[in-house]
């Protein structure tokens, strides 16, 4: 039986190799085939199935075969996408951006040639640029759709492929936003219908956009801020080996700020991300060099982007050191700032973010919305969206400009707030204290379990569903909400806690989002924070037991 399986595996690998347009991919597979049966496990993984096109597009390891990111898979994806656009009656150009990861430019250029080969104009961004610049370009250029080649904050061995729709097919709320169902399923079906890759026509390289699109983004980003406001602020910054550095420097200068001091070792794009174990500002240690620079440069604020600059992380002075803000803390600070500026519209977040934004909106009399996880849902929360955020460091402060998370305009907006507070002798920490005194301490944390076997995630979710806790932190569980079958999300609530459990949509992780709300009593704010932190630790242990992890 094993030999029959290996024969079938070899036949499938040989068939893929024969149709692979990339000489490097063919050589990679040839070596694996020639080394069978020693390489059977590796080949089985690569041919376990195609890399599925979902609502986040494609994302996976750079390797030959259908279950990886490579020129063959990108050719197939691009052909399916342009066929779907044509079937929907979509007219106009496809705009394509790319970051500095391994293969990104090559994948972008292939996408352009597939588009022009199908008779559709292709507009290629002038160079490596942040994801939000591509999202901006979709709207600014009235494109039918956009493709961004990036794996965001994934490890160096990964790459990915995000799709945005313009107004014609995305509608007003989806103009320049990431795709949502049923578009993802339609594109996936079109991809699966692509025949031989050798038969996919390749056209000219498309039109290389000039600096006008970059300059337009920078001007629009600077215009997000209130003109003439305080700008006295010293900022330390890192693009974390990604593509945000040039754009951030230009946007801060255009807005009237001094250009931030940059972590020298992380200033230039580097697809190997050599100074971080994982290029995600949320990961422990990822911001160490930034915080060191902030301390040595006398900075008022420390800001980090992830490698494609759609996320923004902030750290503030705390005692003799620096404290990174949680995504929920920065989200509420930004929302509070925009509300105080009088920005009209709905303020939105997700079911896994802190409940504080909802309480803030209720107290201030502004519309509030809560969505499923992901910016594709946040930006569709209301026709008139003022602001949206998710706890994973994603913020949309200017939905009329970029209908997606944007780490550059978020960085500008928090700098505006910090400069305004500094001019009055206050800080971001002071404003957080004021919000906590008004609404109570909303302490959040996350239990994140990375797995090698994806089946373990399903087993843990089943355990939680079959044996939900009767009590958490000594309080009875008053609500168990299960969003199956539409969404694999489970929520537990008590009088003072909320737990939301879901598999990650982009990584092999099970995530539990924890929140404890503690009133500020007579013993003061710091005592309330101490109680909340202790409660979070206990809650974390209780949920780990529930999940069996």
How confident is the model at residue 5, as a pLDDT?
A: 58
What are the chain's domains?
1-48 (no CATH), 52-210 (3.40.120.10), 216-436 (3.40.120.10), 440-547 (3.30.310.50)
Report the distance separating Cα 295 and Cα 297, nearest Å.
Answer: 6
Ranges of the chain with pLDDT below 50? 1-2
Question: In this structure, how many other beta carbons lie within 10 angstroms of the beta carbon of residue 121?
Answer: 17
Tokens of 415: 């700098």
| Length of the chain counted residue by residue | 549
Beta carbons of 301 and 274 less than 8 angstroms apart: no
User: What does the alpha-carbon distance between residue 253 and residue 237 come to, in Å, rounded to a whole number?
Assistant: 14
Q: Nearest Cα to 40, choosing from 79, 2, 94? A: 2
Helix (H, G, I), strand (E, B) or coil at 237: strand
Contact 147, 81 (CB under 8 A): yes
Predicted local distance difference test score (pLDDT) of residue 434? 97
Helices (H), 47-182: 71-87, 104-117, 131-140, 167-170
Query: Roughly what angle, to the nearest 10 degrees, separates helices 327-341 and 428-439?
Result: 90
> What was the pLDDT predicted at 53?
84
Q: Tell me the DSSP string of 442-498.
A: EEEEEEEEE-SSTHHHHHHHHHHHHS--SEETTEE--EEEE-TTT---EEEE-SSEE
pLDDT at 89: 98
As a whole number of angstroms, the distance between CA 20 and CA 264 comes to 40
Angle between helix axes 455-466 and 525-547 (nearest 10 degrees) is 110
Looking at residue 4, what is its pLDDT?
Answer: 56
Q: What is the pLDDT of residue 505?
A: 77
pLDDT at residue 7 in the model: 84
Q: How far apart are CA 468 and CA 38, in angstroms?
A: 44
Give pLDDT, residue 261: 98
Long-range contacts of 33-38 (CB under 8 A, 24+ apart): 36/6, 36/9, 36/10, 37/2, 37/6
Which one of the listed residues 104, 152, 220, 353 is annotated catalytic? 152
Query: What's the pLDDT score for residue 52?
Result: 86
In order of 52, 80, 114, 194, 446, the CA distances from 77 in angstroms are: 10, 5, 10, 9, 34
Residue 152 is a catalytic residue: yes
pLDDT for residue 1:
39
């Amino acid at each position: 039986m094993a030999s029959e399986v290996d024969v079938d595996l070899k036949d499938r690998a040989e068939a893929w190799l024969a149709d692979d347009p990339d000489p490097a991919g063919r050589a990679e597979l040839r070596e694996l085939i020639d080394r069978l049966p020693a390489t059977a496990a590796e080949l089985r993984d690569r041919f376990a199935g195609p890399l599925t096109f979902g609502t986040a597009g494609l994302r996976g390891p750079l390797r030959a075969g259908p279950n990886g990111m490579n020129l063959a898979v990108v050719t197939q994806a691009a052909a399916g996408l342009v066929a779907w656009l044509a079937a929907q009656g979509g007219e106009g150009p496809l705009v394509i951006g790319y970051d500095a990861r391994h293969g990104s430019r090559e994948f972008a250029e292939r996408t352009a040639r597939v588009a022009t080969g199908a008779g559709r104009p292709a507009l290629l961004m002038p160079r490596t640029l942040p994801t939000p610049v591509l999202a901006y370009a979709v709207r600014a250029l009235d494109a039918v759709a956009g493709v961004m080649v990036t794996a965001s904050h994934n490890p160096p061995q990964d790459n990915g492929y995000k799709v945005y729709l313009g107004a014609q097919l995305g509608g007003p709320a989806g103009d320049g936003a990431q795709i949502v169902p049923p578009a993802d399923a339609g594109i996936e079906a079109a991809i699966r219908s692509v025949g031989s890759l050798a038969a996919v026509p390749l056209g000219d390289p498309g039109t290389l956009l000039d600096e006008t699109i970059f300059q337009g983004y920078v001007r629009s980003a600077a215009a997000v801020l209130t003109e003439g406001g305080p700008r006295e602020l010293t900022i330390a910054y890192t693009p974390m080996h990604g593509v945000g550095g040039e754009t951030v420097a230009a946007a801060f200068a255009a807005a009237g700020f001094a250009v931030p001091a940059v972590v020298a070792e992380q200033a230039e794009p580097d697809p190997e991300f050599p100074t971080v174990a994982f290029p995600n500002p949320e990961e422990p240690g990822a911001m160490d060099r930034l915080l060191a620079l902030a301390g040595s440069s006398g900075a008022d604020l420390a800001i980090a982007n992830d490698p494609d600059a759609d996320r923004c992380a902030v750290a503030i002075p705390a005692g003799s050191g620096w404290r990174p803000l949680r995504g929920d803390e920065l989200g509420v600070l930004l929302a509070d700032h925009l509300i105080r500026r009088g920005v009209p519209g709905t303020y939105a977040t997700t079911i896994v973010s802190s409940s504080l934004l909802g309480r803030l909106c209720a107290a201030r009399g502004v519309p509030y919305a809560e969505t499923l996880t992901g910016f594709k849902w946040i930006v569709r929360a209301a026709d008139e969206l003022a602001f949206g955020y998710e706890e994973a460091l994603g913020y949309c402060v200017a939905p009329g400009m970029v209908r997606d998370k944007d780490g550059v305009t978020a960085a500008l907006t928090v700098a505006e707030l910090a400069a305004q507070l500094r001019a009055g002798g206050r800080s971001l920490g002071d404003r957080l204290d004021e919000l906590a005194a008004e609404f109570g301490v909303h302490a959040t944390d996350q239990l994140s379990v990375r797995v090698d076997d994806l089946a373990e995630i399903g087993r843990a979710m089943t355990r939680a569903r079959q044996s939900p806790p009767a009590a958490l932190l000594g309080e009875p569980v008053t609500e168990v909400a299960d969003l199956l079958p539409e969404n694999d999300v489970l929520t537990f609530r008590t009088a003072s806690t909320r737990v939301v459990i879901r598999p990650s949509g982009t990584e092999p992780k099970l995530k539990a989002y924890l929140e404890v709300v503690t009133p500020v009593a007579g013993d003061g704010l710091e005592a309330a924070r101490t109680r909340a932190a202790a409660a979070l630790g206990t809650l974390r242990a209780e949920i780990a037991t529930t999940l069996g992890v």
